[in-house]
Amino acid sequence: MFFEGSEKKIEVIVTPQYQSLRRLGDGFWAQLVTRANAEILSCIRNPYCDAYLLSESSLFVWDDRFLMLTCGTTTLVDAAIGFIEHLGQDAIAFASYQRKNEYLSHLQPSSFEQDLLRLRRHVSGKAYRIGHLDSHHHYIFCTDRDYRAAADDCTSELLMYHIRGEAADYLRGSRQTAAGVRHLLALESMLPEFQFDDFLFQPLGYSVNAIRGKDYVTLHITPQETSSYVSLETNLDLGNYPVDICAQLLARLNPGSWDVIGFNSTPQNHTFPAHLCLGSCSLASEQGYNIDFSHYQHLSHEVLIPEPM
């Protein structure tokens, strides 16, 4: 059984002159999600944010921006272009498109290079690859418009590969429940005062959105043994958050390797399990985003099992 957990991600910030994106309504966002070949499963709201749980990952909408992540064989670039065409280029203050390399890239309907050609017909910008081409790596495109990010505009991503141990066994078992996964990962104790919306997929897979004011956390688990992948993303300032969320998840899920990506968020690795940092890089965008990437390998020995083809 295989599912491509690696995500594609689009974030768009609109100009101050534009009306609140939340006023576009559920119907607009449902149509946009459909363009990516996904669907909305549920939604939670507060006075600042609408958080949609999708059949393939998540969508968050604030007044001035939206963030959408999709996995599997979705066509997120179609949704990105549809949004730009609907609002017009003058309404776009900043946009970024990020894509991780896939386990089975030949099953994807397009490559990052093909997505980039289409995006550049609508908005100009610069694109980069971070990470080794023959290992886990990420592609990112950012528009080059006259925009400057606020100092507290930060994002942290933790991407985990090949999870092992008791938690992985539970996530691959037949008796897991959404409440059981929340308890297993201690999500409610790590994120007090957050509102949760989660979904347990059949036969395997789990997604959760959590919001508190303008803060969000989203976690997605593809636990399949030969291609396991877990992603966490949040705009919390993890360096000043009272709980070390990344260290706790790494301890519970015991991945063989993991990536940490920070946008105006410097990775803190001193509490990580015993590891080697196989590579890191930093990139400063003209819009005020300092992007840090590091790839880590767990020090413990892994016994590999041949897989029949």
Nearest residue to 256 via CA among 217, 206, 294, 295? 295
278, 211, 219: which is closest to 248 by C-alpha? 219
Question: Is residue 164 one of the residues assigned to a domain?
Answer: yes
Domain assignment of residue 204, yes or no = yes
Enter the pTM of the model: 0.94
Is 306 inside a domain boundary?
no
Q: Which residues lie below 8 Å from residue 52, measured CB to CB, with a gap of 6+?
A: 29, 33, 40, 41, 42, 43, 58, 59, 60, 61, 209
Which residue segment(s) compose the domain that 186 sits in? 8-298
Residue 88 · residue 1 · CB < 8 Å: no
- Residue closest to 289 by CA, chosen among 269, 266, 309: 266
The verdict on residue 157 lying in a domain is yes
Q: Among residues 226, 229, 237, 241, which one has the least CA distance to residue 265?
A: 237
Instruction: Tell me if 305 is assigned to some domain.
Output: no
Residue 225 lies inside a defined structural domain of this protein: yes
* Beta carbons of 64 and 22 less than 8 angstroms apart: no
SS3 of 24, please?
A: helix
Count of domains in the chain? 1
Q: Does 229 map to a domain?
A: yes
Using DSSP, state whether 219 is helix, strand or coil. Answer: strand
CA 31 to chain centre: 21
pLDDT of residue 185: 96
Q: Does the residue 307 lie in any domain?
A: no
Return the sign of the alpha-carbon dihedral for residues 110, 111, 117, 118. positive
Give CA separation, 48 vs 62, 157, 232, in Å: 6, 22, 21
* CATH number for the domain harbouring residue 209: 3.60.90.10
DSSP helix/strand/coil, 107: helix
**pLDDT value of position 122:** 95
Pairing label, strands 8-14, 65-70: antiparallel
CB half-sphere exposure, 89, CA atoms < 13 A: 10
Identify whether the C-beta of residue 14 lies closer than 8 Å to the C-beta of residue 95.
no
Cα-based angle 183, 231, 39 (whole degrees, multiple of 5): 95
Q: How far is CA 246 from CA 34, 175, 252, 291, in A?
A: 32, 26, 10, 18
> Mind listing the pLDDT tens digit of every residue in the chain (309 residues)?
777 778 999 999 999 989 899 999 999 999 999 999 999 999 999 999 999 999 999 999 999 999 999 998 899 999 999 999 999 999 999 999 999 887 778 888 899 999 999 999 999 999 999 888 888 889 999 999 999 999 889 999 999 999 999 999 999 998 999 999 999 999 999 999 999 999 999 889 999 999 999 999 999 999 998 889 999 999 999 988 999 999 999 999 999 999 999 999 976 788 898 899 998 999 999 899 999 999 999 987 677 777 777
Phi-psi region of 264 (alpha: psi -120 to 50; beta: other; left: phi over 0): left
| Percent helix, strand and coil across the chain, each to the nearest 5 | 25, 35, 40
pLDDT on residue 301: 65
Tell the residue number behind the tokens 């083809």, with chain if given. Answer: 309
Q: Which of 141, 152, 90, 129 has the alpha carbon at shortest distance from 285? A: 141
